[in-house]
Chains A and B, each alone.
Chain A
Amino acid sequence: MEQWAVAPPGPGAGRDDGAPIRHQEQRFRYCNLYEEHKGFCGTDDNMSTMLRINRDKCGYCGTCVAVCPEDALELIDAYLSLERECIACGICARACPLGALEVVHEE
């Protein structure tokens, strides 16, 4: 089993209350993941979605930061952190060369 570091909710991340994160189509001008994800997120209000950062895998390269449509990530020297509101779109997780990010869906 891998030990996941769960990204701490940043200011206004709205994650402490476990509220589901909804995909908003207009935010997807950057990629085509909406189709992949819409069956998952935003359709079921009992589902909560969040981004997990595996810091043991992360190579602190900043690739994820550059593709995030929400500017939610921050690379602080050798430490990647979710600092602002994340819509769990999964774009960063796709771009990561090392597979250190994962969008997880929880009932």
Chain B
Amino acid sequence: MKNNYDILVIGGGPAGALAAKTAAEAGNSVCIIEKRSAIGTPVRCAEGIGKELLKEFVKPDPRWISADIERARLIAPNGTTISLEQDKAGNEVGYVLDRKVFDRELVWQAAEAGADVIVKTRATEPIMENGAVRGAKVLSAGTPADIRAEVVIAADGTEAQFARRAGLDTVVPLREMMSCAQYLMTDIDIDAGSTDFYLGNDIAPEGYLWVFPKGDRTANVGIGISGRKSRDGSRAKDYLDRFVAKNFPEGKTIEAIAGGVPVCRPLACTVADGLMVAGDAARVVDPITGGGIGNAMYTGRLAAQVASRCIEAGNCSKEALMPYDAEWRASKMGAGIERNYKVKEYFVTLDDAKLNTLAESIANISLKEFSVRALIMELITRNPKLLLELKALKDALS
């Protein structure tokens, strides 16, 4: 094992892969370490992504696309359904990916660009010198080693322990951790062109339940609930089991996974001396949708671009790396997260009656644009009586 690189990337998810690919293409020596023995498994994802977002980073390939989505449906507690159709909205909806293949493809591309990849190798703590990160202490299949680097990009996902051990506060408050469970089910009656989101405090308290098709009669059926609502007897798995027993009693589960989606605000600062944090580890998941694949790829790529410049200039201090933090915060993604965080904070206060009223008010709309923002605008226009209450939402948009 080589033990000195320009850039060391911790974690082989979408954030780490894009970081390593970008860094290698810029001519740096770079290495990804992944603690699991295989890239991409077990999946911790419902695998949905917007088409336009995806295309910013990688050319769509049928090998890792499970389904092409034409509509999304929001189903309120009383069954009121808001259907958002691709042909009515101007923009495209999305894909449901096969992340086992997708994640491997991204890492493969990084390797092809020249990055080293080492699996079953876990970063245990940062190598710190004078308060700066200088690499990582790792356990590679049980054997300890030191890997030194000019910059470490922590893309270690939900766990986010590397940045934490370098002194950043990455702990997710219980109420802002979406506790998730998902079954990949087959032999079920679904609309293979629609991603369905079920809302309601009896269905998924402070979260939602999803059915994302993976092809005909096959779907990711999953749920996320707020950690503060999670207790014995009412955990994510319990809610999911109840839904499945009622809706897909004959379905067969061929994969069962769990996961946690941080829906807190992003880290207060995503850089330190010699360290950058990207993807879920930086807590840049969309707080409303829980979507984080695109944001992970975006922050991973940006981190590597800034790191490359800093390495060339010979200064990898926190100050020098700061343009990364500033740029993603000012980006469309950063603004979207801030807005959707406020929107989420409003939605988690709603009881089922209010959710039903709001859903009914927009049940027959056809949106010109397919986005959370467009949906909120519509809610505000259609509920003049709730103006005062929806003010929080309106402020979030401005």
Interface residues of A (CB under 8 A from B): 30-33, 59-69, 71, 74-78, 91, 94-99
B-side residues, CB < 8 A to A, are 35-37, 42, 44, 120, 122, 157-161, 164-165, 170-175, 177, 179-181, 227-228, 230-232, 235-237, 256-260, 262
User: Chain B's nearest CB lies how many Å from the CB of A69?
Assistant: 6
* 6 A-B pairs with least C-beta separation: A63-B260, A59-B258, A97-B236, A61-B258, A31-B174, A95-B227
Taking a contact as CB atoms under 8 Å apart, the answer to whether B174 and A96 are in contact is no
With contacts A66-B171, A96-B235, A97-B181 known, what are 18 further pairs, Cβ within 8 A? A31-B228, A60-B258, A61-B258, A62-B259, A63-B158, A66-B170, A66-B172, A67-B171, A71-B164, A77-B37, A91-B174, A94-B174, A94-B227, A94-B228, A95-B260, A96-B179, A97-B236, A99-B235
Q: Compute how far the CA of A64 lies from the CA of B235 in the bound complex, rounded to whole angstroms.
A: 13
Contact sample, A vs B, 12 pairs, CB 8 Å cutoff: A61-B260, A62-B260, A63-B180, A65-B158, A67-B174, A71-B165, A94-B228, A95-B177, A95-B260, A96-B179, A97-B258, A98-B235
- Please give the distance in Å from B352's CB to the nearest CB on chain A: 23
In the complex where A76-B122, A97-B180, A98-B235 touch, is A63 in contact with B174 (Cβ < 8 A)?
no
A60 touches B235 (CB 8 A): no
Q: How far is the CA of A68 from the CA of B158 in the complex (A)?
A: 12
A63 touches B258 (CB 8 A): yes
B contact residues around A74 at 8 Å (CB): 161
Instruction: Return A10 CB to nearest CB of chain B, in Å.
Output: 13
The answer to whether B258 and A66 touch across the interface, beta carbons within 8 angstroms, is no
| Most chain A beta-carbon contacts within 10 A, residue among B42, B122, B235 | B235
Q: How far is the CA of A96 from the CA of B234 in the complex (A)?
A: 11
Let me know if A94 and B230 touch, CB within 8 A: yes
Q: Which residue of A lies closest to B36 (CB)?
A: A77
> A66 contacts B160, CB within 8 Å?
yes
What residues on A are CB-neighbors of B174 within 8 Å? 30-31, 33, 67, 91, 94-95
Q: Which residue of A lies closest to B256 (CB)?
A: A59
Determine the chain A residues whose CB is within 8 A of the CB of B158 once the complex forms.
Answer: 61-63, 65-66
Give Cα A64–Cα B160 distance, bound, in whole angstroms.
12
Contacts of B181 in A (CB 8 A): 59, 97-98
